[in-house]
Structure 1
Amino acid sequence: MFFITNRFPKGSIQTKVGRKFDFDLRNNAPSNSVFFCRRDQDGQITEVGGLNFMTALKQSPYRQLLLYIHGFSNLPEDVFGAAMEFQQLCDQKSAREVLVVPVIWPCDNDLGIVKDYWDDQKSADSSASSFARALCRFIEWRNSNLNDPDSDPCLKRINVLAHSMGNRVLRETLAAWDRYDLADGVPLIFRNTFLVAADIENESIHRSERGKLICDASRNVVVYFASDDMALRSSKAANLKNKIASRRLGHSGPENMELTPKNVYIVDCDDINNSYDHPKGHSYFRSGRTPGKPGVVFDHIFECLRTGRVFPEDAERRSTILRE
């Protein structure tokens, strides 16, 4: 499994292709550097470098890529477990269709959810510059002859799935990329962007708000939400404690659909989230009631990936309720 991270490794932060890469779990500060790595089935991690990483993804037999940005309070092995589960579900549906590529940012593993929450929120914001640099590397590679030595450009579709506070990482990464590296706004680089149980304010993707760049960078933006998501209730309590009063996007969907761009779609998961992830109802986008068997949320995500359309039966439709 290939992945990108801005967590500090043990030893030097200088990139060295081929070295064994071990996470320094005691250091959960975001690194300004970004590391391109491969994790083998035995758990050993090797740093491969940006050029080798992008070339390997281009040459993989999979038709499209899915960048997976995890939520708060996740250590690397937690992320790998979730990504491998999602990969296995994709392969069950259609072999060589979707390759999952985790994006690992530094979370806190202190005891106490509120302390973790605020440390992770700061870490999410601070990770933006390093992941924006990774996007710059990708655009440079895609447009250079290193990508196209034999008149064979990279044609893989790129999608992104952001879960929980990973949505904050995505929002801030695009904002940093737009501010420091781009002249005319973000390019359209994602086919589908899935915002699952998003731990950002529910007005974030309105046309006048910071998260609008997510919509600008995507063909489709699909918001999955559930009003009884217990993890987001804890998030709301933590924000209220610090005098920030706003519903979360993953609780209610957008504040006002009339103010969102036309490529935003919403999916109400309230009827199934707790049966898929009891008792939190937060990680409901992979397996359903039975581990290893896809749930209806995964099925919907995969059909969007396969077809590039959210509601192919009705081009004007922008919302649905998922039930078993």
Structure 2
Amino acid sequence: MAVYILSNRKIVRHKGEKTDSFSNDEYSIPNFRIAKCDFDTYQEPTAAAKKKKDYTNRNILNYKLFSEPEKQGYQDVLDVLQSEKGIRKSALTANNLGGTQRMFYELYKNMSSTKERSDVLIFIHGYAYDFDDELKAIIDLKKLFIDNPASPVEHILFVSWPASSSIVPLTYFDDKASSINSGSSLMRLFYFYTQFLKDIFSNRDLAPCNQRIHLMAHSMGNRVLQSMLYSLKKENILRVIDQVLLLNADVTYKVFEDSEDSFIKLPLLANRISIYLNRKDTILGISQFTKNILTPRLGKNGPSDIEKLKDIVSIIDCTLVEDDILNSLKYEIGNHWGYLSSSMVQKDIFQNLHDIDRNLITGRLKNSENIFTIIP
């Protein structure tokens, strides 16, 4: 099990600390830095601890930033892997690897060491998260997807981008700009990954691990994904993702049209795409009528036209679901966090991640060839 943070937040040294940390500032840097979360020493905080002013940063969850790589590319990773297999001698060890080299090396080692499901989930969060909020979200995601035996996920890559810490409406536009910048950084990370695959698996001594990688984006995290897709050239896209789950997506309902040149590229990247929407989503309703010039949102209204993609893209209507896990006023009125608040939505997501045929997933009513409703 491993949880990594991929962040383009500013790096700072907090007072009294000896190591670098990610900043809560609403400021993005051009490239992602990578950190690994330490759950070996994690202890669930008490209610009193959570109220303290010092319940921030590593007091929430400890993590360690990877060093920057000594040189670009993945030849060093190949040398280390071959040395470990006794194929060739090398003075390099895993400790010489930094950044994406270290993360890809560790994931490959862990995922190829078992015949059981050892899937990776890439998660992109939404609007109004500071870094402390992200650390709390990482803990929740680990409980939901790694600790839960119903889930095939064993590793999480949490994409941390500097959203505003305030829910004041004007900060929404700051988050839109930040999501665009973060999408460009994510695009570079995607190219690093495809380069890793080419460099490592061009060698016959190293076999693919045959595990699955999934991508999940919630709310405005879909705009980060959209920005990445804008930047990707179709001829450079490899199908390296199994499932893409678009949760309550705060992007225009036209993103799958050719003219948008963004989500239309997802079928080149993934085997299956699922759009989870809620027609009572109050948050997306506010987004539509106050910030997006009356443009319907994908996560509330569904896509405008996916006739050409109906074999790959499914629409899952969550309007009727019950918030039986988290049922505070925020969740009941917002109808925006079904993946956290509803066991019915979670059950549907787990079946999706297990690659069950969409027509055989239980708890659904089939409306048409690719449109389903989750029913109580």
TM-score by length of 2: 0.73
Question: Which has the greater radius of gyration?
Answer: 2
- SS of the equivalent of 1:245 reads coil
Asked if 2 retains the 8 angstrom alpha-carbon contact of 1:171 and 1:214, the reply is no
Which amino acid in structure 1 is aligned with residue 63 of structure 2?
I
Residue 23 of structure 1: how far off its partner (Å): 1.6
**What residue is the counterpart of 2:65 in the other structure?**
47
Gap change, CA 1:30 and 1:97, over 3 Å in 2:
closer
TM-score by length of 1: 0.84
Once the two structures are aligned, what percentage of the paired residues are identical? 22
Which amino acid in structure 2 is aligned with residue 101 of structure 1?
L
Give distance in 1, aligned partners of 2:240 and 2:283. Answer: 30
Asked if 2 retains the 8 angstrom alpha-carbon contact of 1:207 and 1:261, the reply is no
Gap change, CA 1:171 and 1:308, over 3 Å in 2:
farther
Asked if 2 retains the 8 angstrom alpha-carbon contact of 1:225 and 1:252, the reply is yes
Gap change, CA 1:46 and 1:150, over 3 Å in 2:
farther
Residue 5 of structure 1: how far off its partner (Å): 0.9
Which amino acid in structure 1 is aligned with residue 31 of structure 2?
S
Pair 1:271 & 2:301 matched:
no
Aligned equivalent of 1:296, options 327, 334, 344: 344
Which segments of 5 or more consecutive residues in structure 2 lack a partner in the other structure? 43-60, 67-98, 112-116
- SS of the equivalent of 2:199 reads coil
- SS of the equivalent of 1:223 reads strand
Give distance in 2, aligned partners of 1:94 and 1:274. Answer: 19
- SS of the equivalent of 1:2 reads strand
Post-superposition Cα deviations, 1:276-314, rounded to whole Å, max 9, x if no partner, equal 5222111111342xxxxxx11111111111125333479
Gap change, CA 1:109 and 1:311, over 3 Å in 2:
same
**What residue is the counterpart of 1:283 in the other structure?**
337
**What residue is the counterpart of 1:107 in the other structure?**
163
Residue 45 of structure 1: how far off its partner (Å): 1.9
**What residue is the counterpart of 1:64 in the other structure?**
119
**What residue is the counterpart of 1:214 in the other structure?**
266
Asked if 1 retains the 8 angstrom alpha-carbon contact of 2:152 and 2:353, the reply is no
**What residue is the counterpart of 1:14 in the other structure?**
none
Gap change, CA 1:247 and 1:273, over 3 Å in 2:
farther
- SS of the equivalent of 2:243 reads strand
Aligned equivalent of 2:243, options 188, 192, 209: 192
The CA RMSD measured in Å over matched residues stands at 2.5
**What residue is the counterpart of 2:82 in the other structure?**
none
Give distance in 2, aligned partners of 1:135 and 1:2. Answer: 15
Which segments of 5 or more consecutive residues in structure 1 lack a partner in the other structure? 12-18, 289-294
- SS of the equivalent of 1:6 reads strand
Residue 223 of structure 1: how far off its partner (Å): 0.3
Pair 1:2 & 2:4 matched:
yes
Which amino acid in structure 2 is aligned with residue 87 of structure 1?
K
Give distance in 2, aligned partners of 1:213 and 1:248. Answer: 19
**What residue is the counterpart of 1:92 in the other structure?**
148
Aligned equivalent of 2:297, options 227, 244, 248: 248
Post-superposition Cα deviations, 1:228-268, rounded to whole Å, max 9, x if no partner, equal 1111122113325xxx3310000111123435453110011
Gap change, CA 1:56 and 1:73, over 3 Å in 2:
same
Which amino acid in structure 1 is aligned with residue 317 of structure 2?
D
Which amino acid in structure 2 is aligned with residue 297 of structure 1?
V
Gap change, CA 1:203 and 1:169, over 3 Å in 2:
same
